A and B are shown apart, each in its own frame.
Chain A
Amino acid sequence: AQKVTQAQTEISVVEKEDVTLDCVYETRDTTYYLFWYKQPPSGELVFLIRRNSFDEQNEISGRYSWNFQKSTSSFNFTITASQVVDSAVYFCALSEAFTGGGNKLTFGTGTQLKVEL
């Protein structure tokens, strides 16, 4: 069975601080995908990144970066120079490789990030 653990329930930072959101996953699959989604107070799920299990390169997109480490089954997300608009719940998710059933995602419980002035 697949499992995603986001141990940090809530994080509060002051604007311009860097913050890292942790994600640890469990799966028996050798091929899988990892995702991060942002859920702002308005409630929608905003796609941030998708990473497959064969690609361990770190990725940077503007102020966002992701660190994928297969050895520790972790896919952590860092926001550099945080801003108030980053305040949201962030979900990490895992899916098995496409088998014909598409991408069924298993979500973590989310981390509520509050960025204050």
Chain B
Amino acid sequence: EPEVTQTPSHQVTQMGQEVILRCVPISNHLYFYWYRQILGQKVEFLVSFYNNEISEKSEIFDDQFSVERPDGSNFTLKIRSTKLEDSAMYFCASWGRDTGELFFGEGSRLTVL
């Protein structure tokens, strides 16, 4: 079964540091997403990405965040200067029009100290 893979599974960082979370979406998918889940809360949409540009972003996705598809296979989320409140599980997802299913990765847990 196709899967979305994310690295790292867990990252601990100091406040103010830059973090890059990586995702490899399913190979023939064209739509990619980042979602965030603060511990014990619901999953929240951050950003969608299509055709090498952001198609939609939420108010959470401020200037500290950026996304990139640097090489045609990886899809990255960068947080420029992490804050304590960025501690969360970050899920990457990709969507295929053929099945209509949104496939999520296993998540990257970010802990900001």
Name the residue on A nearest B100 (C-beta).
A50
**CB <8 Å contact, B31 and A109:** no
Chain A-chain B contacts (Cβ-Cβ < 8 Å), number: 61
Q: What's the Cα separation between A63 and B45 when bound, in Å? A: 30
Report the minimum CB–CB distance from A14 to chain B (whole Å). 25
**CB <8 Å contact, B33 and A100:** no
> B-facing mask of A76-117, CB < 8 A → 1, else 0?
000000000000000101010010111111111110000000
The total of chain B residues at the interface (CB under 8 A) is: 25
**CB <8 Å contact, A44 and B100:** no
- 11 A-B pairs with C-beta separation under 8 A: A43-B89, A44-B105, A44-B106, A47-B102, A91-B42, A101-B31, A102-B95, A103-B95, A105-B35, A105-B45, A109-B42
Show the binding face of A for B, using Cβ within 8 Å. 33, 35, 37, 42-45, 47, 50, 91, 93, 95, 98, 100-110
Using A44-B105, A50-B101, A93-B43 as known contacts, list a sample of 8 further A-B pairs with CB atoms less than 8 Å apart, ordered by residue number in A. A35-B102, A44-B107, A98-B97, A100-B50, A101-B50, A103-B102, A108-B42, A109-B41
